Amino acid sequence: MRIIHQGLGNIGLGIARLVLERGHTIVAAVDLDPAKAGQDLGALLEAAPLGVEVTADAAGALRQPADILIHCTGSRVRAVLPQLEAAVEAQLDVVSTCEELAYPWYHHPEEARRLDDLARRRGVTVVGLGVNPGFVMDALPIMLTAPCRDVTRITAERVVDVSQRRAALQRKVGVGMTPEAFRAGVREGRLGHVGLVESVAMIAGALGWELSRITEEIDPLVDGAAVQGLHQVARGYRADGDPEAAVMLDLVMAMGARDPHDAVAIQGTPPLRLVIAGGIHGDIATWAIAANALPFIVAAPPGLLSVSRLPLLHLTRPLAQRHRAASPGPA
């Protein structure tokens, strides 16, 4: 598969490493950072030269013949929409780690419709995904409703100990700030996890629950005077007047957070409660989901799709694909 890579931060570089491992070819790499433009992509990956010079010229890169764009430049749909539209105009499928793109229909219905229309006209597929949003707090809970006769409520909780994680993530959750600076950062949209309300909307959308509103609270977790991390809760309320939240997603990301885990509870018939002790590691998991999803996205029908509309995702390695061709199973 021929790939154009746009956005070479931690997530973008991690995905690049994995797609190269899987035998795909990166034909162009785009990043606006002047410290990166002009370098060989291999150098940024701390690997052998790849003969791919990082460029700040996205339009030029999109003229390379390619199959798919891997897009990792930002979290907000409105900010990245021109980039996505340029790729779709160039008739590229797109997988993006833009958090809001995981389910833009609820909060950005106009932008979603426009991008979906364009993707259909150009015959390409656009999907936003990652481990969260895109897997552990939405796709996994959605799948867990399959063995249920009925479902009344869905809860997911994720506790991440950020003490072993990169500094940029620690900053994003407010580590070391005063509570006042934290609250100002939340008000200005600089702090907090982007995508939790999108996960609520994705779950409700898959189950066909019309929501009247989605609320979100982001609070600092404080030890003494310094913020250690955040506690973020998003709730979706059904339009049928049920006063209790139909979907509640509860996220803790903090230094030394106790009992890191992922948990999903389905209140229904039968009730289910799933626990992943230790939780799913965020960075590797997002890299891997994006890399594993490539063959599914290239094969998917045109349009802007949520990950819940794709076939069951799973590991897709080059070795695996070679074996599959020789096996009697379905391709």
State which of positions 42-101 bind a second copy (CB under 8 A). Answer: none
Nearer residue to a second copy within complex by CB, 45 or 191: 45
Residue 280 gets which letter from DSSP? -
Alpha-carbon gap, residue 175 to 158, rounded angstroms: 18
Q: Is 237 in the site for a second copy (CB under 8 A)?
A: no
Q: Is 328 in the site for a second copy (CB under 8 A)?
A: yes
**Which of 159, 288, 294, 297 forms a contact with a second copy (CB under 8 A)?**
288
Alpha-carbon gap, residue 327 to 236, rounded angstroms: 45
Ranges of H-type helices in 155-264: 167-172, 179-187, 196-207
Residues 130 to 189 in contact with a second copy, rule: CB under 8 A: 131, 135-136, 139-140, 142-143, 145-151
What is the 3 state secondary structure string of 244-276? CCCEEEEEEEECCCCCCEEEEEEEEECCEEEEE
3-class state of residue 290 by DSSP: helix
What is the nearest approach in angstroms of a second copy to the Cβ of residue 194? 19
Of the candidate spans 44-52, 88-96, 206-214, 223-231, the one that interacts with a second copy by CB under 8 A turns out to be 206-214
Alpha-carbon gap, residue 188 to 153, rounded angstroms: 31
Nearer residue to a second copy within complex by CB, 103 or 237: 103
Of the candidate spans 23-31, 76-84, 252-260, 310-318, the one that interacts with a second copy by CB under 8 A turns out to be 310-318
Nearer residue to a second copy within complex by CB, 150 or 188: 150
Nearer residue to a second copy within complex by CB, 105 or 181: 105
Nearer residue to a second copy within complex by CB, 243 or 330: 330
Strand stretches in 22-174, DSSP E: 25-30, 68-71, 93-96, 125-128, 150-161
Tell me the backbone φ, ψ of residue 181, rounded to 5 degrees.
Answer: -65, -35
The CB-side HSE value for 56 (13 A sphere, CA atoms) comes to 7
Q: Is 241 in the site for a second copy (CB under 8 A)?
A: no
> Do residues 57 and 32 lie in contact, with contact meaning Cβ atoms separated by under 8 Å?
no
Of the candidate spans 31-39, 89-97, 129-137, 217-225, the one that interacts with a second copy by CB under 8 A turns out to be 129-137
Q: Is 102 in the site for a second copy (CB under 8 A)?
A: no
Residue 304: CB atoms within 10 Å: 26
Q: Is 308 in the site for a second copy (CB under 8 A)?
A: yes
Length of the chain as a residue count: 331
Alpha-carbon gap, residue 234 to 250, rounded angstroms: 7
Nearer residue to a second copy within complex by CB, 25 or 269: 269
Nearer residue to a second copy within complex by CB, 225 or 325: 325
**Which of 34, 224, 241, 270 forms a contact with a second copy (CB under 8 A)?**
270
**Which of 54, 173, 253, 289 forms a contact with a second copy (CB under 8 A)?**
289
**Which of 4, 72, 102, 206 forms a contact with a second copy (CB under 8 A)?**
206
